[in-house]
Amino acid sequence: MKTALVYSTHSEHTSGIAKLIKEHLKSKATEVNVEDTSFDELQKYDLLILGVSTWFDGELPNYWDEYLPGIDDQDFTGKKIAIFGLGNQIKYPENYQDGMGILAEFFKKRGGEIIGYTDAKTYKFESSAAFENGQFCGLAIDNSFPKAKTTSLVSDWTKLIS
Protein backbone atom coordinates (compact mmCIF):
# COMPACT_ATOMS: atom_id res chain seq x y z
CA MET A 1 0.00 0.00 0.00
CA LYS A 2 1.58 3.22 -1.12
CA THR A 3 1.55 5.53 1.85
CA ALA A 4 2.14 9.30 2.17
CA LEU A 5 2.63 11.29 5.31
CA VAL A 6 1.26 14.72 4.45
CA TYR A 7 1.89 17.72 6.69
CA SER A 8 3.73 21.02 6.79
CA THR A 9 7.45 20.62 7.35
CA HIS A 10 7.40 24.21 8.55
CA SER A 11 5.21 23.29 11.51
CA GLU A 12 6.92 22.42 14.75
CA HIS A 13 4.62 20.16 16.77
CA THR A 14 2.93 18.51 13.80
CA SER A 15 6.32 17.68 12.28
CA GLY A 16 7.39 16.09 15.56
CA ILE A 17 4.35 13.80 15.64
CA ALA A 18 4.79 12.99 11.93
CA LYS A 19 8.33 11.81 12.61
CA LEU A 20 7.12 9.68 15.49
CA ILE A 21 4.42 8.12 13.29
CA LYS A 22 6.97 7.40 10.61
CA GLU A 23 9.15 5.53 13.13
CA HIS A 24 6.21 3.39 14.21
CA LEU A 25 4.83 2.61 10.74
CA LYS A 26 5.63 -0.90 9.51
CA SER A 27 5.65 0.08 5.88
CA LYS A 28 7.48 2.88 4.15
CA ALA A 29 5.82 6.27 3.87
CA THR A 30 6.72 9.15 1.62
CA GLU A 31 6.82 12.51 3.34
CA VAL A 32 4.91 15.18 1.45
CA ASN A 33 5.11 18.84 2.37
CA VAL A 34 1.64 20.28 1.89
CA GLU A 35 3.09 23.76 1.61
CA ASP A 36 4.64 23.24 -1.78
CA THR A 37 3.52 19.93 -3.19
CA SER A 38 1.65 19.68 -6.47
CA PHE A 39 -2.11 19.25 -6.65
CA ASP A 40 -1.69 15.81 -8.30
CA GLU A 41 0.55 14.42 -5.60
CA LEU A 42 -2.04 12.86 -3.27
CA GLN A 43 -3.55 10.77 -6.06
CA LYS A 44 -0.33 8.73 -6.18
CA TYR A 45 -0.99 6.99 -2.85
CA ASP A 46 -3.41 4.46 -1.38
CA LEU A 47 -3.11 5.58 2.21
CA LEU A 48 -2.86 9.24 3.11
CA ILE A 49 -1.81 10.07 6.64
CA LEU A 50 -2.60 13.74 7.14
CA GLY A 51 -1.24 15.94 9.93
CA VAL A 52 -3.22 18.99 10.97
CA SER A 53 -3.50 21.34 13.89
CA THR A 54 -6.37 23.72 14.62
CA TRP A 55 -5.78 27.41 14.30
CA PHE A 56 -7.67 30.25 15.91
CA ASP A 57 -11.32 29.45 16.61
CA GLY A 58 -11.57 26.18 14.74
CA GLU A 59 -9.81 26.81 11.47
CA LEU A 60 -7.36 24.93 9.34
CA PRO A 61 -3.77 26.10 9.35
CA ASN A 62 -3.09 28.33 6.34
CA TYR A 63 -1.06 25.63 4.54
CA TRP A 64 -4.04 23.28 4.38
CA ASP A 65 -6.37 26.17 3.68
CA GLU A 66 -4.29 27.13 0.66
CA TYR A 67 -3.96 23.58 -0.64
CA LEU A 68 -7.51 22.21 -0.51
CA PRO A 69 -9.02 24.44 -3.24
CA GLY A 70 -6.49 22.83 -5.57
CA ILE A 71 -7.88 19.31 -5.00
CA ASP A 72 -11.53 19.99 -4.26
CA ASP A 73 -12.60 18.65 -7.66
CA GLN A 74 -10.71 15.36 -7.25
CA ASP A 75 -12.13 11.94 -6.43
CA PHE A 76 -10.59 10.07 -3.50
CA THR A 77 -12.72 6.96 -3.82
CA GLY A 78 -10.75 3.86 -2.88
CA LYS A 79 -8.24 5.79 -0.83
CA LYS A 80 -7.81 5.41 2.88
CA ILE A 81 -7.43 8.64 4.87
CA ALA A 82 -5.95 8.62 8.36
CA ILE A 83 -5.72 11.95 10.16
CA PHE A 84 -3.75 12.98 13.21
CA GLY A 85 -4.59 16.27 14.82
CA LEU A 86 -2.98 18.55 17.35
CA GLY A 87 -5.08 20.49 19.78
CA ASN A 88 -5.38 21.99 23.22
CA GLN A 89 -8.32 20.92 25.38
CA ILE A 90 -7.69 23.48 28.09
CA LYS A 91 -7.33 26.60 25.97
CA TYR A 92 -9.70 25.77 23.14
CA PRO A 93 -12.40 23.44 24.43
CA GLU A 94 -14.98 24.88 22.03
CA ASN A 95 -13.09 24.03 18.87
CA TYR A 96 -11.08 21.07 19.98
CA GLN A 97 -9.44 19.31 17.02
CA ASP A 98 -11.71 21.07 14.54
CA GLY A 99 -8.92 20.96 11.94
CA MET A 100 -9.09 17.16 11.97
CA GLY A 101 -12.87 17.26 11.55
CA ILE A 102 -12.70 19.70 8.64
CA LEU A 103 -10.16 17.54 6.79
CA ALA A 104 -12.16 14.36 7.42
CA GLU A 105 -15.31 15.97 6.08
CA PHE A 106 -13.49 17.24 3.02
CA PHE A 107 -12.10 13.82 2.02
CA LYS A 108 -15.24 11.91 2.98
CA LYS A 109 -17.27 14.13 0.65
CA ARG A 110 -14.91 13.22 -2.13
CA GLY A 111 -15.09 9.47 -1.68
CA GLY A 112 -12.22 8.91 0.73
CA GLU A 113 -12.54 6.32 3.49
CA ILE A 114 -11.64 7.73 6.89
CA ILE A 115 -9.81 5.20 9.03
CA GLY A 116 -8.14 5.33 12.41
CA TYR A 117 -11.06 6.48 14.57
CA THR A 118 -10.13 6.71 18.26
CA ASP A 119 -12.04 6.77 21.52
CA ALA A 120 -12.72 10.28 22.83
CA LYS A 121 -13.73 9.14 26.31
CA THR A 122 -10.68 10.41 28.18
CA TYR A 123 -10.72 13.86 26.60
CA LYS A 124 -12.42 16.92 28.08
CA PHE A 125 -13.82 19.48 25.66
CA GLU A 126 -17.08 21.25 24.84
CA SER A 127 -17.42 20.71 21.14
CA SER A 128 -15.39 19.44 18.26
CA ALA A 129 -15.81 19.07 14.52
CA ALA A 130 -13.78 15.85 14.83
CA PHE A 131 -16.19 14.19 17.25
CA GLU A 132 -18.56 11.53 15.90
CA ASN A 133 -20.52 9.00 17.98
CA GLY A 134 -18.14 9.04 20.91
CA GLN A 135 -15.05 8.89 18.71
CA PHE A 136 -12.61 11.22 17.06
CA CYS A 137 -12.19 10.79 13.33
CA GLY A 138 -8.46 10.30 13.83
CA LEU A 139 -5.71 10.49 16.40
CA ALA A 140 -6.12 13.44 18.76
CA ILE A 141 -2.79 14.56 20.17
CA ASP A 142 -2.93 17.17 22.89
CA ASN A 143 -0.20 19.62 23.80
CA SER A 144 -0.81 18.82 27.44
CA PHE A 145 0.01 15.10 27.10
CA PRO A 146 3.23 13.77 28.58
CA LYS A 147 5.69 12.40 26.02
CA ALA A 148 5.16 8.76 27.07
CA LYS A 149 1.41 9.01 26.55
CA THR A 150 1.88 10.53 23.12
CA THR A 151 4.30 7.77 22.13
CA SER A 152 1.93 5.08 23.28
CA LEU A 153 -1.03 6.69 21.46
CA VAL A 154 1.02 6.93 18.27
CA SER A 155 2.16 3.35 18.57
CA ASP A 156 -1.43 2.06 18.98
CA TRP A 157 -2.76 4.23 16.18
CA THR A 158 -0.15 3.25 13.63
CA LYS A 159 -1.08 -0.38 14.23
CA LEU A 160 -4.72 0.51 13.67
CA ILE A 161 -4.14 2.19 10.32
CA SER A 162 -1.41 -0.04 8.92
Residues in contact with another protein by CB under 8 A are: 55-60, 62, 65-66, 68-70, 72-73, 92, 94-95, 98, 101-102, 105-106, 120, 123, 125-129, 131-132
**Is 84 or 125 the residue whose CB approaches another protein more closely?**
125
**Is 20 or 129 the residue whose CB approaches another protein more closely?**
129
Q: What string of DSSP letters covers 30-50? A: EEEETTT--TTGGGG-SEEEE
**Is 28 or 73 the residue whose CB approaches another protein more closely?**
73
Shortest Å distance, C-beta 69 to another protein: 5
Shortest Å distance, C-beta 129 to another protein: 5
Residues in a beta bridge with 131: 136
- Structure letter (DSSP) for residue 121: T
Torsion of CA 57, 60, 61, 63, to 10 degrees: -160
Shortest Å distance, C-beta 104 to another protein: 10
Shortest Å distance, C-beta 158 to another protein: 26
Cα-Cα-Cα-Cα dihedral sign, residues 43, 80, 15, 13: positive
**Is 31 or 105 the residue whose CB approaches another protein more closely?**
105
81 within 8 A of 114, measured Cβ to Cβ: yes
Shortest Å distance, C-beta 25 to another protein: 28
**Is 113 or 132 the residue whose CB approaches another protein more closely?**
132
Residues in a beta bridge with 114: 81
Helix (H) or strand (E) holding 66: helix 62-67
